[in-house]
Structure 1
């Protein structure tokens, strides 16, 4: 199985399982403060990992592809949408929405990620992929309709969908820098988003929890947000944005399963109908095959790689033969045909 698919599944599992745990904390920690603690736990944990890894690295390891100055605007936008606005909207939505329903509503992140990738960032798609997204959208609408209040607007569902839109923008902006170090990207996003949300919470006069609950929130954030984002960035490198979003759509099913076991939620008919629709949509994505003659334009970049058919270059340093490794390298123009997805080497037009 493609390593990108495994990374996307790992991202989905870690994030999906965090939703019911965050739901447990919503009643005890204010939403803005909880969002801050989740991201601070993610950022602190990942930057410690980043630092320890850097100290233990040897010159022969090749290091990692660090962020460049040109990456900063994309990173800032990703932090704004995905690290600040998205978590606050999710915590607000969780405060009035059953965790199992919230978990399935989070499938909308994959849908919105893909729509932005296709129509704004011009990533390719076909009818099979589009039909799969329609089924996932239909499942989300069924779920939102079932949990609407007797009178008024389903604000909880709308807040969660708003969070998904923010994360969809975040995912597409992060794709622009996905060839860089995933741990560094996720760690910086966590620290920046956590600090901003903490500042908002303090400005609002929100009471912060004790050390024990804060540490628990930080642990949930490290596992469910930090590690998930690291895996997600790795998947973006190998699958592109829309495909990664599609595989990531299993996250709500993980969260829903944990919710049913842990919190005792009782789902209605709409929950199961939405699950079938979303499952069918995900299956269409998982079984996609894309192949045609395509042209690789000349390009130069740095990322972790092996010497496969796309990496037949020379080295301007003494190479010990260890793979994978990281260094700046150049791709010459090439035309060929093979199954592929919009990874960092296949972002061509159709």
Structure 2
């Protein structure tokens, strides 16, 4: 249905005119070769720790390159925190970890001004959000007030403490884990907080073969203990900038808008996806295309990411929720009935 990526033309994001494929953009092409090689190493590092679930590594890498934040949701013990730690250890950068608890305060995340009598002035002591990768473990065990301390950090890459704004380092990625809200001692994430996460993934149980492999590998020692960095934060930042130059045709952009727009009038939903969902779905699709070695986005990329990027932003009606409908069900249904754009002139 879709063209061979190796023969598709590279299209100029500015005017939509196709370039001669023999005279494409060599810098972008060379950069994509490096990007594929680096992301392959990151995927391998994640797969060595979280066995039998390659789709998790693909989505995690896409969110990393797209400059988004990742929410990992599932029951305890399936590897949520292990996945987050594996990503952090595979990248040579500053890492901070926050264990969310009911008594955690916003200042425990962002930092606090401390008065120093020796200098007769306040000194800012940064909190754990001042790292490149921030692991928020069991984020929904903290109160909504503490959860909201991350809103400015995740959206604007900065935090304001006592009226003073402090920039956060780049790259900046929050990988948060949470347990299902039905479990004891949890608080549902507010809609505005969920909307800040580019994607939500569910780890799920491994199959029998993968679980046996996990037992063999971890019988004596945790694989995290031997995981070494395979790239640097500076490289990730440079490759993320490259991803922004991956081309998305007007037809693909319209497909994104059609999918997201269909949620806003869906009878099973009280609140559809925001324009931020459209932006982040396109960014993630560009990252997935780039990690596949392509300089352009296909509808397949959008389809692969629609559920993890859009579903967690939807607010179901009471009737739908009581009837067992989920956000994933709604997005799957929209994907089935939304026409896929046809390829034109040998490419998208």
| TM-score calculated relative to the size of structure 1 | 0.22
Structure with more helix by fraction: 1
Structure with more strand by fraction: 2
| TM-score calculated relative to the size of structure 2 | 0.22
